Structure 1
Amino acid sequence: MAKKKNKKASPNTIGTNKQARRLYEILETFEAGISLLGTEVKSLRGGHVSFKDGYVSFHDGSAFLVGVHIAPYEQTGQYDQHDPERRRRLLLHKHEIDVLQSKVDQRGLTVVPMKMYFSRGKVKVQIGLGRGKNVHSKKQDLKDRDIQRDTQRQLASYK
């Protein structure tokens, strides 16, 4: 019997936001802890997370992850379930929150979740400070990627 291939990038990676680099030009990245319930952690161990409309908002000196969907855990009773779309508090240092909040307020940047993974048994989120791309820059990125792929193919054929 053949071995099954692992879909994840590494054994610790829970999920990645593939749309983040396509929709935003990422200027800086940060690692943040996240405050979760027990059923959310169990669901994340199965890889049940969606970053579709996720972003980071700031309220009262704290950072919150909004719009990230963590599916309910199937082995838990109906009354012990968590809300899949609830706000989750990010665990960052005060100066990191101040830096991110000031850049978002002054320059009109956005903080988006990029990747979620386990680090020493704790769930971590990689967040990126990004500037939204317009249609022209998205097309230019596709063009550059096609040119890069063609040159790699030509170099490989000469070897």
Structure 2
Amino acid sequence: MVIRIEPQKIAHAEGLYLALQDRRIYEFLDDKAPDSIQAVRQRIEWLLVGAPASSGEVWMNWTVFENTIVLGYTQATIRDDGTASLAYALSPSVWGRSVAHTACKLTLAEIETLTSIAKIIADTEVRNMRSQALLERLGFQRTHEDEQDVYYKRTSG
């Protein structure tokens, strides 16, 4: 298994569309499966434009591959306060195979190489035990929770 990430581009739209169709991905997300390959293309185009200049953010998005097969994505929002937030969505076909761990480690390395981030944060739904275990395995520390979400941080370096 060779897992790699690549900066997201429009050419990844068809693979992302196929990888993101399984409804289980959205059990803990405020999102739904993309309606079409064109919808994925449009989303990638929007992401490539980047965050509004006034937002104080930079958006970074990667497509996750196993060899040449698209498995999902990772992303980071870099804020001007020195914080980044990590997010990811991967096909259930690779759950339990350490693919998310590898993809997120590669993403964290990219964030740390390309930016001067002091802290990386993430959150997940309280019932999403897989994601909580992944974040803890990646070195994130649980900071707090509310009724719906559990919040984590990881100090860079």
Give TM-score, length-normalised by structure 1.
0.26
Q: Which has the larger radius of gyration?
A: 1
Give TM-score, length-normalised by structure 2.
0.27
Q: Which has the higher contact order (CA 8 A, sep 6+)?
A: 1
